[in-house]
Amino acid sequence: MISTVTDTNIVGELDATIFTATQAGPTGMLVVLENSGLNTLNYFFQEFDGVNWVDLDTLGTDLNNTLTAATIYAPGETKNIKLTSTYAQVRLRAYGAGGAELRFSVTRPSTRAPGGQLPLLSF
């Protein structure tokens, strides 16, 4: 089964969770992020190791970086990110100077038994 969720979220100046993905086992997904606002935004992915939320990578990588803002001449920056984690929960957190708008799409393959539980994506 492949599930895709697409949404837009206003990103404030304070670090906040944009979405959390939960599966029965290791997490894998394709995430498309687009800054559709007029301010630069910063984002980072974290995984839950059973005790704490831990950053998936260091600043400057695709999993922890900045998206430049849209202008009247060009759309905002877009990144396609292939994300994997050995843990069942992953979340995206973001913040933007002066607030920003983030469009995102999450596509996840998963295996489930007939009539089994659907993988979750919470906002």
Confidence of residue 101 (pLDDT cuts 50, 70, 90): very high
Please report which confidence band the pLDDT of residue 99 belongs to, taking 50, 70 and 90 as the band edges. confident
For residue 84, the model assigns a pLDDT of 92
Which residues contact residue 84 at a Cβ distance below 8 angstroms, ignoring those fewer than 6 apart?
26, 27, 28
**Domains of the chain: which residue ranges?**
2-25+38-111
Is the pLDDT higher at 120 or at 41? 41
Question: Where does the pLDDT of residue 65 fall: very low under 50, low under 70, confident under 90, or very high at 90 and above?
Answer: very high
Kindly report, residue by residue over 10-24, the tens digit of the pLDDT.
999 999 999 998 887
Its pTM stands at 0.88
Mean of the per-residue pLDDT values of the chain? 88
Helices (H), the chain: none
The residue with greater pLDDT, 118 or 57, is: 57
Cβ neighbours for 62, distance < 8 A, ≥ 6 positions apart:
79, 81
